[in-house]
Structure 1
């Protein structure tokens, strides 16, 4: 079992990368009034049919040859459902996949969100040919990081160069701190 939701995000995004996605969208939406934390990961990868979706939710199924089980999606699903939330995978072959996990924010069994800044930073700097659109919202405040905009501004300078990598990490950290307004989720 993962110890924080950001690790579940990392795991699901790795599936998107293996599905040859070149645009991955990650949305984290926290709504205190509705008592909900919603994490949505969507990609334009190869997609799955209904049989493949059923297999992905099975902890004893994996397409990887390095191990015989694939626990990432089942753990993410369980983490949402145990809070009284919901979990859904919508996918179409040749179009892509959307994974949505809904958590009851105040539920005692909800794992902490964890270090989304490091998760997103790691994904961007280690997968420099993939575009990421990250949206983070707490109640009425939000911010977005779109690597396509960064690419345009940087005119081809790679994200894994130390100065650029540091800037991306600081951008994520500062914006999340402002949106969180001192709260830890």
Structure 2
């Protein structure tokens, strides 16, 4: 099993990229009063047929040709459900996929969110042609990063340029710290 939820986010987002997505939305919401942590990852990729969707949480099924098993989705599902949370995947061939994992925030077995800043930085800088919208919310405080806005400002300058990637990292971390007030979610 993965040691932190951000690695599950990375895995599912990578699945979206491999499914030809040009637009990926990653929404993370934590609410202490309601005692939940909810992660929603949606894309406009190829989507899945009903038969693929029926097999998606089988660890011995994968569409990848580089390895014979696909443990990312089953581990993400297990991680959510073992806290008393839920896990759903909605997908339509040719339209895209939405993965939702809801965790009981206070459950002793809930994995930590982990280094979501590095996860998002990697996704954004290594996949410059994909439009990412990332929202992070804790107890009603929220920030959103839209790579389309960055692209409009930067023009043809690469997100991988050291000054740009450092700015994106600082932007992500500073806004995350402001939203969660330094709490380790």
TM range (shorter): over 0.9
Shift, 1:105, TM fit: 0.1
Q: Which secondary structure does the structure 1 equivalent of 2:3 belong to?
A: coil
How many angstroms apart in 1 are the aligned matches of 2:33 and 2:134? Answer: 23
- Which residues of structure 1 form unaligned runs of 5+? none
* DSSP 3-state at the match of 2:54: helix
| 2:79 paired residue number | 79
Alignment of 1:81-160 (within 5 A): 81-160=81-160
State the Cα distance separating 1:182 from its structure 2 match.
2.2
Matched, 1:19 2:19: yes
Query: Counterpart in 1 of 2:68?
Result: 68
Q: Distance in 2 between matches of 1:138 and 1:75?
A: 24
CA distance in 2, matches of 1:182, 1:166: 20
TM-score between both structures, scaled by the size of structure 2: 0.98
Any gaps of 5 or more consecutive residues in structure 2? none
Runs of 4+ in 1 over 2 A off after TM superposition: none
For residues 66 and 94 of structure 1, what CA distance do their matches in structure 2 show?
23
Q: 1:156 Cα deviation (Å)?
A: 2.0
Secondary structure at the counterpart of residue 123 of structure 1:
helix
Matched length: 185
- How far off its partner does 1:2 sit? 0.2
**Cα RMSD, aligned residues only:** 0.7
